[in-house]
Amino acid sequence: MLTLEQIEDEEAKIEVMLGELSEAQRSYVETLASDEVRDPAEFKRRLRGFFFGWHHFYLNNWIRGAVSVALLIYALAGALIMNLAFPAAILLAYWALEIPTMLNAERKVRDRNATAYRSAIGQLKRRR
């Protein structure tokens, strides 16, 4: 993942490239990127419920989100029904893996958005 300064530089380059495009081309790029571009503030809001995996679904990481939900159900069932500590320990370990995502949430989303715009601009150039 890029540093915050690198992301800001990349965003500035993308703004310059978008500024050089015509209105129709800019609209095309925005349309292509719109499926991937996410709001960092919304991601942070969804990250508050990290134990449900909502933030993964927001970023279209369906498999990781499904794993998160499945582990939550498994841990709750194991801890409450079977009175086992092992499923809860697995869930806690998985949640510990989420700490870097929580600490780098804005960078992650801004990097993803920059990548989406770079890809859309590349598709526009190939289309010409």
- As averages over each run of 10 residues, the pLDDT of the chain (128 residues) reads 85 92 90 91 84 85 90 84 80 85 88 93 85
- Per-residue confidence (pLDDT) for residue 10, from 0 to 100: 92
pLDDT at 13: 93
Which has the closest alpha carbon to 94: 115, 64, 62, 126?
64
Can you give the pLDDT at residue 14? 93
Task: Please report, for the chain, the start and end positions of each structural domain, with discontinuous segments joined by +.
Answer: 33-127
pLDDT given at position 111: 93
pLDDT value of residue 4: 83
Angle, CA of 103, 92 and 68, to the nearest 5°: 75
What residue spans of 20-104 are helical by DSSP H?
Answer: 23-33, 40-47, 54-58, 62-80, 86-97, 99-103
**Do 118 and 29 form a contact (C-beta atoms < 8 A)?**
no
- Give the pLDDT score at 101: 82
User: pLDDT at position 98, please?
Assistant: 84
Q: What is the pLDDT of residue 119?
A: 92
Q: How far is CA 26 from CA 22, 34, 46, 81, in A?
A: 6, 12, 30, 55
